[in-house]
Amino acid sequence: MTARVLVVEDEPAIRDAVAVALEQERFSVEAVATAADALARTRASSPDLLVLDVMLPDGSGIEVCRRLRAESDVPIIMLTARSTEVDRVLGLEVGADDYVVKPFSLAELVSRVRALLRRRELDRVGTTTTVAAGDLRIDLVRQEVRVDGRNVGLTPAELRLLTRLAGEPGRAFSRDELMETLWDVETSGTSRACDTHVLNLRRKLHGAGLAIETVRGFGYRLRVTERLSRNPD
């Protein structure tokens, strides 16, 4: 089945170039120019992936990402300006899976799109259907994470990262290994992107009896700890 990509970009030259590049790779592409249209078309047509610019004429792509994450786990690649690192970090914090910095290579963007879609498909059809660590249960078929029976809402990137860490509790993973887990390409993203996803996971798993520990100068590992008491004295 042809993957459907929604491109949200208000600059006509960039929007058209991205659409053509993706169509040449046999993706089904729809392109819009505003935040309002991005929300409306995503809700109406449920695309397989969004390419979303940060700066839009009627609002911020970051706010679009935030609103969509409250109702959907569609993979999102943000397009950001080189000088706005804060936008890249904010985008990841609100649930974007990856970002590409302008000006960018169309070949790189297409590679990122393919990597995210391929990883999403692998997540869905992998031979292992459940990963467990302590009270954590990850259902890879339903793409659900539960801790002691409580559902924990994660973005697709956060789920992939947690699955890798939880698959081998106690093992230290390098940032490069974790970045390949996230994007399935060796040079995609930056260590800052990986670190931001880890920070989000720590916040969402706080008190769940799990610790994502920093291995200084190397990466991260997951450790099962004692759960915080629900009814502290």
Return the H-helix or E-strand segment holding 5.
Answer: strand 4-8
**Both structure tokens of 88:** 């890249």
Of 21-25, 31-35, 225-229, which gets the smallest average pLDDT? 225-229
Residue range(s) occupied by CATH 3.40.50.2300 in the chain: 4-123
Measured at the CA of 129, the angle between CA 123 and CA 131, to 5 degrees, comes to 95
| Rounded average pLDDT over 117-122 | 75
CATH 3.40.50.2300 corresponds to the domain 4-123: yes
Decide if 12 contacts 48 (C-beta within 8 A).
no
pLDDT bucket at 186, cuts 50 / 70 / 90: very low
Unique residue bearing structure tokens 């992998």: 126
Q: Taking Cα atoms as reference points, which of 197, 192, 135, 115 lies closest to residue 164?
A: 197
Q: Residues 81-114: pLDDT tens digits?
A: 866 677 778 888 899 998 899 989 999 999 899 8
- The CATH-assigned architecture of domain 127-224 is Orthogonal Bundle (1.10)
Distance CA 52, CA 61 (A): 6
Decide if 197 contacts 173 (C-beta within 8 A).
no
Residue range(s) occupied by CATH 1.10.10.10 in the chain: 127-224
Distance CA 157, CA 212 (A): 16
More confident residue, 34 or 118: 34
